[in-house]
Amino acid sequence: MGAVHRYSDPADQELAGFIAASFAYGRVASFQPIIDRVLAFLDEGGGPRAGIEGLDLAAAHDSLGDLVYRFNRGQDMLLLLLALQGVLQEHGSLEGAAQGESADQVMGSLVEALLSHAMKQGPLVGVQASTPQELPRGYRYWMTHPKSGSACKRLTMYLRWMIRPNTEGLDLGIWRQLKPAQLLIPVDTHVLRTARFLGLSKAKTGSWRVAEEITGWLRKMDPVDPVRYDFAIAHLGISGACKGKRDPEACPPCPLDKVCGAR
């Protein structure tokens, strides 16, 4: 998220945010250098917006072609830059492509636009794909569609950054399609575990339905801004403060101690 706050122009922020959210899986210490590397390349071209609009594909290949991060390779990154460029040309912004009246519609329309432009631009980076299924695996990993039933953790997080107001200095509130009340909590293993401890879900794996279930409970506490609890819930696990079970040292200072159902 720090990657987004290093820019002040919303046109840069929405693109930096999408790139940062795409790589936000695994350990922060592992993916942060990758995000920094991609943004440093774009900064050489004047920032995310200018760097993508005026993309020098040969320079991108030299700088990012050998990129490797878990499921993703340099080819995925080059394809994403080309697809983002295509979306900017067609819709004017990522916000312009992300349209709908619910979180699944907004995310789905953005994903569909990025898949479509990746198929069109693919031959420039050696990718021949006439269907989304033929796109490289790493690129498809980024493009989870709500229709698949996935929790779409990285996209729900991205939507939170774009839609929620900047009340705690975390989110940006630069998109207007949805109200914060319509957002879903980004569900990862940390959020799911704490949600189980609190009785917000019994699920063992995340899914779109589970994200709706947990958000439904949070909505009872704050109907206007249910995902404001996301950081607090996720942080317990990410920080290592919660050991995943009752612990004589970790639990007494935990704010959830009195309501936690962990054993």
Which positions touch ligand SF4 (CB under 6 A)?
Answer: 194, 197, 236, 242, 246-247, 250-251, 254, 256-257, 260, 262
- Nearest-CA neighbor of 12 among 45, 48, 42? 48
Distances (CA, A) of 234 to 12, 109, 116, 127: 27, 27, 33, 37
State residue 236 phi and psi, 5-degree precision: -55, -40
Give me the phi and psi of 73, to 5 degrees please: -125, 170
Least distance (Å) between residue 2 CB and ligand SF4:
26
In whole angstroms, the minimum distance from the beta carbon of 257 to ligand SF4 comes to: 4
CB nearer to ligand SF4: give 176 or 204: 204
CA distance 175 to 164: 9
Q: Give the nearest distance from C-beta 211 to ligand SF4 in angstroms.
A: 19
Closest by alpha carbon to 99, among 81, 111, 115, 86? Answer: 111
Nearer to ligand SF4, 18 or 229 (CB): 229
**Minimal distance in Å, beta carbon 189 to ligand SF4?**
14
Phi-psi region of 178 (alpha: psi -120 to 50; beta: other; left: phi over 0): beta
Nearer to ligand SF4, 174 or 262 (CB): 262
Q: Least distance to ligand SF4 from the beta carbon of 253, Å?
A: 8
68 vs 241 by CB, closer to ligand SF4: 241
Contacts of 192 (CB under 8 A, 6+ apart): 201, 203, 204, 205, 206, 210
Q: Which is nearer to ligand SF4, 103 or 236 (CB)?
A: 236
